[in-house]
Structure 1
């Protein structure tokens, strides 16, 4: 029996969010639905824009009626897939499906021939009635376009069944197998995220997932008052997010991000911003978008898969604002580590998109921010966020400084400060003059900044933002940053690079072991043993580092030259090519020095300033060469300080050449083409001196420095890290790391950091021991320290900088024997000598330079 369209009355149009709200506010499937006036036809992408309902053939009076008058009529819902909207209809059990199609056409304009209604995974036939199709009150139908040649039919069928099952759960149907929802989602993810899936199929699968309103259905289930439904939805959403984050390569994130964004928007509006599931989805979205290139709107071209991205600045900036607000509320920083990471992640693509505005070159003059035509709202908000963050972090760091002076301090939230400071500085770089303001604020709280770096800066994090401002740091904080750049050593014997070296062939055999090894094997750790000696372990390794470095920098080996004014400092020898293998030895030297830093061994060597600056990629000035060649420095100073009139009279008789001694003979090198014919005068003498410096200290040793840097980079990872390490350090810092403390060994400090086993501090043997050490010469103390620990040089911070305390053990050996040591554990052992004279005689033997090594055991 055919009926008129007007018999289908009281029809409503609303969006997915309102549908979820209706379900939340009206969870009982047997209670009457909310009225049409409760809903707004909204654009899902923007929560604050509203539109009127579309014009329909239904009269205004009938649109306002709240419920059907006929007792047999019931309400059901039709999802309009292409618009992500829902149409609420009423009908009788005997109404034909074709009548439903006609009503949909009258409301949407979609031709009947193009419509296809799906219910419980099956297409509904025109001639069947609602009752025959088992459509009951509050049933959810899906309207999709008629598919003449449907791609991915299995995915369509799977997700359609997935969504319809969720709707039935939301209506309170019993007897459903709850695990089937999770199983269907897992099947979908297996088909979508498998490694061999083509990118176009991946995109199509996600489009189907969204088109069939699967995210909205899951969120609707999550809002269910029934605990089992809520738990099922939460687990399913977590599975989806985890699969996207861990099962996909980053290029696919641009396609997953819109789904994560939809989950975030739905949960934010339906649940709350402090909801754990919302936070999870927000964090997942942050991970997906942090490396994406985005535009202002959500129609940005993605070159990876030749399609338009659906994520833009307007989509993700609300999350920036939300997290910035949380940073600034309260007296401290209340964000968790994940929320701080999310804040930085969402900011990264926003800043990148804003910086690409051509009219400002990435830096905005602050007065013009309020006259922008593009990203106007976002740029203004970022400026406001920056000002609030600057004030907030200044106050927080002042609080850190105050609490550091207290005996008891609560610093649980301080571990987030460095990340927020880094984010704040990155925002400041967008605005003219703001970065200078940031660093001025940091200068006021530099003590707190140093403390935070030493305590909370972790390996694997990016600290380049602070490295360029060494003036704000001290040695301890700069050293900590360098240690974070170095690889960690390993103690597993199976992964150690083993070396068995003859002391008489120390340099050549060490060269063979180190230069021929793969860098990754050296980074894994070293196992060192001297031929025909029993001692092994870290103590022997420390001894080897010290001895091999002494050989590498021995001027007799022609690799390095000692500075005339400080024989502890070295720079590459321009004449090193007398050895055909000299460049390979420089690479070997770079590896050894890097390894000594990794193993925290002070080797008693220091670099000349010219060598250090080249490794840092910095220019060399005249003042920098003062120690390397005092005579050269003095001559250049005279040329620059001489009366210009005398210089112009050619009193110097100089041209743009440099005379150098090479293999016993003098050689003339032009500083530039035809330099021998260009006279040095008062106008070009500065250029002449600069070219001399460049040739004498850079050009002449460029190959040697490059090979040393390459060897160093082999150990630390790459050349960028190598330069970063030297840029992080002040020149004097490197002295401390490589050479160690230059102070005389303090016996009092030695005592404080020594513990006893078998002896008591009050025993006469202990009193005798320290009395004898106090009377030793500085060199004897160094030898004793070397015998005890395999270290001749302490760290800059003394005994407190060692890996552990030192130990004196009481042994049961004969009193006729000398003391022994376990250098690995910083342990010296001696028997209960009967007198101070006997102990002094034994200690005098082991503190002779030719005896005080090779006594150590494991």
Structure 2
């Protein structure tokens, strides 16, 4: 209704009426009131009220004609509307206003959306003009709700009561002071919605029979919306001048703006999205975009939409949902673009989460909308094709704007790196770059969208390619983030340290609290057997918490002892005596699975144990000096194995296959090979067919490549598939998510995995050792320190390793040498006499060195502890 033809009303509020139970039948617009003795009792209220109209009276119609025959009729009509709760509403309107306009006016003020007016015992048609009713002065019309066929009548009554209470608080705050607290009413409504879900549904006579769990709460919230309660609450919140009940409106709306299960029952929380959308729409039209309540409402909407069950049936249409959500997503994108344009380029955590949630849900819904998945044709979002009014075009533009801004930010980070490199060498600060990890969140969201838009994917790759150094620095310094797995397809752009940090995020962090660690007490004489029992019987969750172990009858505990245990267990586990693994002929520290391990009845359990040990060693960042063959690595990564991949594990088969590929046709035919292979196992010989009927299929020049592929697959996959499965299962037990096993190995090259697990097998760099050693009680130029380093220099490489192991429980250094250790090394001046051997605190990388009187004495004492049987477990915690 236009301003020129509006309606005005005022209310009379009688005293309080008892309302015991929200499920008790309440009339529409129920409010604490007593009945007025006569409509004339409200005349004083009418006479003092000012009309919002000022519109000319309608001429014409029977009523108007009758008025003109006697005297000048007033320009407006005054009448009363009596609600079923006995509240009387004084109204005045233009004669040409319709009954529907009156109902709309009442609905706008919170009296519900499905109303009817009754006069003289008949229902008035909405299209009827007031002039046609020929109403006598001060007539009374009756406001009723339409009868509904619904099992939730109490929900309608309570929702209508909330709407009318909020409307009353806006227009007549003095009389509403005695009314129930609006926010408490909303909490009561939420509780009723939750309680409705708990009602039995097995009664075939019940109208609720057969309804799924959670449907009731969704219908309750839809009733809340249809009854006009959100409109009334928002109107009360934005009222001008502000109502004294504004704080109740805020509290009432905030009842739905939480994802805390203790504040909002999970079954209700999961279906709040349509209601949150309604609040967002209403607030977006009436308040500033920086309004705190509006921002909280928008943030909660994004969070709820990302819940597994956050999309009720009314929002199941992907296109419709994106259309409704996109305006709010565009608002947060603008905020993020402004933050990224700042000198610090740092986003607030709340804005980052909100943007991520909106993009996540739009990405998911867009993929559902696209037939057969894949990307959208460019014609749907190309600006030249004139589709700028569609969500497809608008989402594409938002994504490109965001990508362009991220590109600018990466350029600035590249300049920072260049300046650091020129001034003092490349120095990537963990704290500084870690604070900029928001850039990775932006890139992650853009990767999601790139699955929809092909040109976004292309430009994203170009941006990453142009800024490899800042990208690596961001990933290298990033804290744990489970959403970065998409970077595996760009691993060629990352440095080793970045790739290593990427996969370490897939491993547990462990606990610092010893009370939550998996405790083990191991007898050295039964090292492997007891370690096997402790590890294989533990639940994966217990192992992911971390390990606290000690050796029987030894005082030493802590990380140093744990590092020693890992090295000793791996040395025993991968020894030929265990028949689980075989060393590669040309690299005795590289192993592949032994097909004859079936001789051990426990071999499958031991292989799972082996997988767990490898995963735990990586989790605790211990280099154990062994590596896996490329064939095993590729299997764990879910990739196929080619001829070149077997060269280290089986050089004989590799050479034979290479010769077959180089032979002429006649020579190949003369070999009389078939698609089968002979296997010698446990003293017996058997023939395995590489394909169905393989013994009868001869190898020739046209099928020799296929023969080689099948031979490799059978030898390195099929024949040991059960062993591989158990080993892989053991490794995945340690990952934070077992489903990440493939992503873990895909993120690495074999050389990366070697550096992480095996460490460096190169000669120890003595100068690097000195640079990373500090002194306590000694000085670098003291003769005792000079003698110490001369004694170390005279040792063999293996003796140096034993000394280092005695000192730190580190036998194999990280690939980047001593600088890759968790701490500097320390030499402390011991108080013992020269007759004592050195001692160590391996947890703290601390060597306690007595002041020996000569270089010869120093050499003698160091030679003693460099013996393998002495260097193991000679230190203390």
Structure-1-length-normalised TM-score: 0.81
Structure 1 position 712, deviation (Å): 0.9
Which of the numbers 419, 437, 458 marks the counterpart of 2:441?
A: 419
Cα deviation, 1:502-526, whole Å, max 9, x if unaligned, reads 2222222211221122222222222
CA 1:31–1:619: 2 relative to 1, 3 Å? farther
Cα deviation, 1:180-227, whole Å, max 9, x if unaligned, reads 233223222333335736634323421332233222222223224548
CA contact (8 A) 1:545 1:596 kept: yes
CA 1:813–1:232: 2 relative to 1, 3 Å? farther
Alpha-carbon separation, structure 1, partners of 2:52 and 2:74: 8
Structure 1 position 361, deviation (Å): 4.5
2:360 match: 348
CA contact (8 A) 1:35 1:66 kept: no
Alpha-carbon separation, structure 2, partners of 1:412 and 1:791: 29
Structure 1 position 718, deviation (Å): 4.8
Which of the numbers 377, 386, 395 marks the counterpart of 2:390?
A: 377
Q: Does residue 207 of structure 1 match 2:222?
A: yes
RMSD of aligned alpha carbons: 4.2
Alpha-carbon separation, structure 1, partners of 2:107 and 2:675: 91
Q: Does residue 400 of structure 1 match 2:401?
A: no
CA 1:240–1:101: 2 relative to 1, 3 Å? farther
Deviates more, 1:259-268 or 1:710-719: 710-719
Structure 1 position 731, deviation (Å): 0.6
1:93 match: none
1:290 match: 306
2:329 match: 320
Alpha-carbon separation, structure 2, partners of 1:572 and 1:767: 47
SS of the counterpart of 2:621?
coil
Q: How does 1:591-602 map to 2 (within 5 A)?
A: 591-602=612-623
CA contact (8 A) 1:568 1:606 kept: yes
Unaligned runs of 5+ in 1: 1-8, 15-29, 38-55, 91-96, 112-125, 134-140, 303-307
Deviates more, 1:696-705 or 1:354-363: 354-363
CA contact (8 A) 2:776 2:827 kept: yes
CA 1:187–1:632: 2 relative to 1, 3 Å? same
Deviates more, 1:573-582 or 1:221-230: 221-230
Alpha-carbon separation, structure 1, partners of 2:559 and 2:238: 60
Alpha-carbon separation, structure 2, partners of 1:233 and 1:719: 47
SS of the counterpart of 1:800?
helix
Which of the numbers 654, 658, 665 marks the counterpart of 2:677?
A: 658
CA 1:11–1:540: 2 relative to 1, 3 Å? same
Alpha-carbon separation, structure 2, partners of 1:82 and 1:504: 93
Structure 1 position 79, deviation (Å): 15
Q: How many pairs align?
A: 774
CA 1:245–1:143: 2 relative to 1, 3 Å? farther
CA 1:147–1:624: 2 relative to 1, 3 Å? closer
Q: How does 1:629-648 map to 2 (within 5 A)?
A: 629-647=650-668
Q: Does residue 450 of structure 1 match 2:451?
A: no
Q: How does 1:15-94 map to 2 (within 5 A)?
A: 75=91, 85-87=104-106
Cα deviation, 1:740-798, whole Å, max 9, x if unaligned, reads 12333233333333333344445443343334334433222211111111110122232
CA 1:256–1:130: 2 relative to 1, 3 Å? farther
Alpha-carbon separation, structure 2, partners of 1:769 and 1:79: 104
Which of the numbers 749, 762, 766 marks the counterpart of 2:768?
A: 749
Structure 1 position 89, deviation (Å): 12
1:181 match: 182
Unaligned runs of 5+ in 2: 10-47, 56-60, 68-72, 81-88, 110-115, 200-212, 421-426
Structure 1 position 472, deviation (Å): 1.4
Structure 1 position 443, deviation (Å): 0.8
SS of the counterpart of 1:795?
coil
SS of the counterpart of 2:288?
coil
1:217 match: 232
Structure 1 position 645, deviation (Å): 4.2
SS of the counterpart of 1:851?
helix
Q: How does 1:572-583 map to 2 (within 5 A)?
A: 572-583=593-604
Alpha-carbon separation, structure 2, partners of 1:262 and 1:842: 80
Alpha-carbon separation, structure 1, partners of 2:619 and 2:108: 73
CA contact (8 A) 2:625 2:812 kept: yes
1:137 match: none
SS of the counterpart of 1:808?
strand
Alpha-carbon separation, structure 1, partners of 2:870 and 2:742: 40
1:672 match: 691
Alpha-carbon separation, structure 2, partners of 1:248 and 1:763: 69
CA 1:11–1:508: 2 relative to 1, 3 Å? same
CA 1:492–1:353: 2 relative to 1, 3 Å? closer
1:482 match: 503
Alpha-carbon separation, structure 2, partners of 1:853 and 1:678: 57
Alpha-carbon separation, structure 2, partners of 1:476 and 1:643: 47
CA 1:732–1:85: 2 relative to 1, 3 Å? farther
Q: Does residue 196 of structure 1 match 2:198?
A: yes
CA contact (8 A) 2:183 2:248 kept: yes
Deviates more, 1:600-609 or 1:228-237: 228-237
Deviates more, 1:592-601 or 1:209-218: 209-218
CA 1:379–1:147: 2 relative to 1, 3 Å? closer
Structure 1 position 849, deviation (Å): 2.0
SS of the counterpart of 1:840?
helix
Which of the numbers 242, 251, 269 marks the counterpart of 2:285?
A: 269
Q: Does residue 706 of structure 1 match 2:719?
A: no
CA contact (8 A) 2:612 2:730 kept: yes
Deviates more, 1:397-406 or 1:707-716: 397-406
1:389 match: 402
Which of the numbers 233, 241, 259 marks the counterpart of 2:257?
A: 241
CA contact (8 A) 1:658 1:668 kept: yes
CA 1:385–1:706: 2 relative to 1, 3 Å? same
CA 1:57–1:200: 2 relative to 1, 3 Å? farther
Structure-2-length-normalised TM-score: 0.79
